[in-house]
Chains A and B, each alone.
Chain A
């Protein structure tokens, strides 16, 4: 008999040969400024836990309370028996926080993109997407039957040309999609100009603000708030897994949009909801952000402090507009070696990012700053970077 899955072994070997194989490290404790990795305590520069809420006592308590009150499981998909009062409370709280009519929650940000894109466009329609949009948008685009056009990263002139082409080709509906914050460089989409261009051609605008929610805008209200575009962006996608510290995704927009997703969002209709303790933790997170900008402010001041130290050491920090801090190194092997030395010699956990996630020759270490970092953590981190940077001849 033939080995029907032998191809997997070959493919995995090929990944290893090409240096594309993902080695996954296991964390033996809660998320925070410090982690236990392989039995060692390390300084954490890897997680998207921007506000340090992933292990915040208030979220933990809220989750415990929900466990006691609602149990562990949602029971069914939400349209059948899985919508608990907690889910609707979260959706209302998010709508208030975001300043929109309504929101709908999903199991993750990834799933929210898969739900919303095919619900809005199909055959005869056109999607126009930034070349660097997140994989979940790419997959959502692939799920939709609409034609697709891709524009160079943040190039609004090119977007306008694609819009004109789509109109000239007789597109029915047009959906423009961009990430709010691009997670590899930390740069913002020029959403104000994107919205102007889309308006000109009567196109819908969707922004996936996974890395912007809880980070940019007033008190972390996201990129739409940052640009003051309330009411002009048709679809906002967000995640609860990054700044909000828990798990889940959502779509924010008009009442009509949310009603439509309740009818046609396939992951909403055919996959069970997030569990009660998760939802309660999310609710607590939204409450914390609604009540105070303290964590968001600390996140930004931490980022400014860290970036200033790194710049003074001579590091190239790319073009980030956000607390995402890419330390540009260029060569893939250099980035990998840098990351290895940081972890093994200096107990700093910071992931190297290289091709195919970023272009060849643009390898980097992406430092994810968090409000959970103390000033001491930031100093220790920057000092460790400087030491390894000198060893490897990256900085003088």
Chain B
């Protein structure tokens, strides 16, 4: 297997970056399912509260970053600026989607909060699918560019 060339043209390199976020969540799920840690001790409630709160804040952050990021992209002009803004939006929102899952994972072995982890990890995967380099998302941004009297600028930028 060749090392992913993230400098190459086209949207494929974005998938490699995205995979870096998906991989740890999938690995953590696999590990938890295989190892099946022990029953919760008395502190599980607190850990659960912390994880769920973190998840609510971070998952909301995914939507917020995507919204702010989209507005930023639409105001930009050059291919380089648009590409960087798109990448930043994707990476940041994916990071926010992943963080609560990793936090929950850390508590699985300490507090045995397996179900909580699995729930948060599943939600994180869904959000990663949403925040990743989807062509429908890129087309939506392109359509907004066109509606503003411009052309398919986002595709053009990501493909340049």
Contact = CB atoms under 8 A, between A and B. Distances in A.
Q: Do A and B originate from a single complex?
A: yes
Interface of A: 20, 129, 131-133, 135, 138-139, 141-142, 147-152, 155, 158, 161-162, 165, 355-357, 359-360
Contacts of B153: 131
| Closest 4 A/B residue pairs (Cβ) | A131-B156, A150-B155, A152-B160, A150-B156
B149 A356 contact: yes
Contacts of A359: 77-78
A132 B160 CA distance: 13
A141 to B, nearest CB: 8
Contacts of B143: 142
B146 interface: yes
A141 B152 CA distance: 10
A359 B76 CA distance: 10
B81 to A, nearest CB: 10
Q: Is the interface of A mostly helix, strand, loop or mixed?
A: mixed
Contacts of A139: 146
A165 B11 CA distance: 11
B35 interface: no
A205 to B, nearest CB: 19
A150 B83 CA distance: 14
B5 interface: no
B159 A151 contact: yes
A123 to B, nearest CB: 14
Contacts of A142: 143, 146
B135 interface: yes
Interface string B1-28: 0000000011010000000000000000
A142 B155 CA distance: 13
A47 B78 CA distance: 28
Nearest to B149: A356
A161 B146 contact: no
Contacts of A360: 77-78
Interface in B48-96: 77-79
Contacts of A147: 135
B78 A150 contact: no
Contact of A138 (B9, B135, B151): B151
Nearest to B135: A147
A131 B148 contact: no
B10 A161 contact: yes
A131 B77 contact: no
Most chain A beta carbons < 10 A, residue from B10, B149, B156: B156
B151 A152 contact: no
Contacts of A149: 155, 159
Nearest to A20: B149
A155 B156 CA distance: 11
A361 to B, nearest CB: 8
B150 A356 contact: yes
B148 A356 contact: yes
A160 B123 CA distance: 39
Contacts of B151: 131-133, 135, 138
